[in-house]
Structure 1
């Protein structure tokens, strides 16, 4: 896997640490930029250069200051980042959050897995996905990926 600029916005320190470990195990060349709320993420994006623009953003929903959905809306309103893949990454499987993330233009929504192996599998799939061939999933069953046990074989085929 080649080098990618991965951005993660999540206020849970344990979840950030698990994500860092999983990412480093599957993509040692990837650069991870972490923010702990949506406001910090948006500040980081403003100062990005062409070399540091995100290749993908993982975005938690429940965060202080600016939540993930508010950050998603701001990202999609910014022409420079409109096409950057955004994966909502949350402990919540609330229909309300999933519908809002879909409406606001997230590429996918996945529920944080309970094991590092499942997280590694999910991150790996998102990093290896050919985003140039991406078609926005109008069917919510293809938008909502994973569960606390990781991807099902049917869901993983969506990203291939």
Structure 2
């Protein structure tokens, strides 16, 4: 398996960082989890990324204050260095309208929250077992 080495989590809830850290330590040791609590600072950081610093995968909360996940996704897909990076929408709101919107904007997968740590470990194990660099169908729910 060719796991991503660096994952960027953008979520306004710090507890999600703790949960992701614990889950990654169980299923995918060696993955660096980078955390951005604020969408504005995340966008500034990502605009400065180069091919050497861009993460292998982005996990993005869909509902955040000030700048929504939708806006972050739209801006990310306009950055050349993020055009093919898998972006996982992390949301508790799996509304079909929002899912279709995110899929059209370039979301790769949808990951539902809330969940327990065991459920997240299972989903991350599945997600990381995919040939994530050659994903054919965008907008898949896991």
Residue in 2 that maps onto 1:23: 24
Query: How big is each residue's C-alpha offset from its partner over 1:73-127, in whole Å with a ceiling of 9 and x where there is no partner?
Result: 1111111110000010111112222121111110111212421011011122222
Other structure's SS at 1:53 match: coil
Matched residues, number:
141
The alpha carbon displacement at 1:3 in A equals 5.7
Q: How does 1:1-160 map to 2 (within 5 A)?
A: 2=3, 4-137=5-138, 143-145=140-142
Report runs of 4+ in structure 1 exceeding 4 Å deviation: none
Q: Does the CA contact (< 8 Å) of 1:36 and 1:63 recur in 2?
A: no
**Shift in CA distance, 3/84, structure 1 to aligned 2, threshold 3 Å:** closer
CA distance in 2 between partners of 1:51 and 1:29 (Å)? 18
Structure number with higher relative contact order (C-alpha < 8 Å, ≥ 6 residues apart): 2
CA distance in 2 between partners of 1:44 and 1:129 (Å)? 27
CA distance in 2 between partners of 1:69 and 1:3 (Å)? 23
Query: How big is each residue's C-alpha offset from its partner over 1:16-61, in whole Å with a ceiling of 9 and x where there is no partner?
Result: 2111111122223111111113222212212324332110000001
Gaps of 5+ in 1: 146-160
Other structure's SS at 2:8 match: strand
CA distance in 1 between partners of 2:4 and 2:95 (Å)? 33
Report the RMSD for the aligned CA atoms in angstroms. 1.8
CA distance in 1 between partners of 2:69 and 2:98 (Å)? 10
